[in-house]
Amino acid sequence: MTLFRLDASIRVEGSHSREIADLVEHEWLGAHPDDAVLRRHVGSEPVPATVWADAVSAAYVPEDQRTPAQRDAAALAAQAVDELVAADALLFAVPLYNFGVSQHFKTWADLVIADPRMAAGTEPATAGKPAVLVTVRGGSYAAGTPREGWDHATGWMRRILADVWKLDLQVVESEFTLVGVNPALDQFADLARDLRQQAEQDARAHGRSLAAGRSARIAA
């Protein structure tokens, strides 16, 4: 049985999204130590930006008439969906970049949607799978803050993962991750510590829930 984990941070060391996702994974493996974890690091090993267009255009061309680029792109899309379908649970770690969704995650998600099993108007092959999204933000975008409404990523990811792909989604959010890096945020050190502790608690709880959801489906 498999946990699929995708990381979209451009950093490996010092990545807050990876650290919090590690807590989710730890709970999963604590419950199921013999399970496999399939990893995709789209931040450090990105999907080429041109692949999505080739995969989309391939759908309108008979297989024997596709270009090599279209064939390769369609195969990559199929592989991406195969990984999601084969997994028992899904974990996504995606930071907020420049007020929007990581281009690496967006490119990968577009590729997934290009596969016929995930196309608009179909019941997605991922429907009902338990999933956790970990997302982190350098500042605060909460209601009443100067940057309220500037987070254009979390809502989009919820829409894709929960509404379009129909995953049974839980979300872990952490803010003020740039406290200690950006001196302008030093005044929020105590709040940042409290928010991080809450995010870590949520990650552990959702990790246990993820493992329990997998067990329930196997028992059924």
Q: What is the pLDDT of residues 156-171, one digit of tens each?
A: 999 999 999 999 999 9
Report the percentage of the chain scoring pLDDT > 70. Answer: 97
Q: Could you report the per-residue pLDDT of 65-118, keeping only the tens digit for each?
A: 999 999 999 999 999 999 999 999 999 999 999 999 999 999 999 999 999 999
pLDDT, residue 118, reads 97
Instruction: Please count the residues of the chain.
Output: 220
Q: Give the whole-angstrom CA distance, residue 179 versus residue 202.
A: 20
pLDDT interval class at 216 (50, 70, 90) = very low
The pTM of the full predicted model, rounded to 2 decimals, is: 0.91
Q: Which of 5-9, 47-51, 137-141 has the lowest mean pLDDT?
A: 137-141
Q: Is residue 138 within 8 Å of residue 195, measured between CB atoms?
A: no
Q: Could you report the per-residue pLDDT of 17-30, keeping only the tens digit for each?
A: 999 999 999 999 99
Nearest to 175 by CA among 214, 207, 204, 143: 143
Q: What are phi and psi of 93, to 5 degrees?
A: -120, 105
pLDDT, residue 219, reads 38
pLDDT, residue 92, reads 98
Nearest to 139 by CA among 98, 172, 106, 101: 98
Q: Could you report the per-residue pLDDT of 193-213, keeping only the tens digit for each?
A: 889 999 999 999 999 999 987
Strands of the chain, DSSP E = 2-7, 36-41, 89-93, 96-97, 100-101, 130-136, 168-174
Q: Are strands 100-101 and 96-97 parallel, antiparallel or unpaired?
A: antiparallel
> Burial letters for 22-53: b for 16+ Cβ neighbours within 10 Å, e otherwise?
bbbbebbeeebeeeeeeebbbbeebbeeebbe
pLDDT, residue 29, reads 94
Torsion of CA 122, 128, 129, 130, to 10 degrees: 140
Domains by residue range for the chain, with CATH: 2-219 (3.40.50.360)
Q: Is residue 210 within 8 Å of residue 30, measured between CB atoms?
A: no
pLDDT, residue 18, reads 95
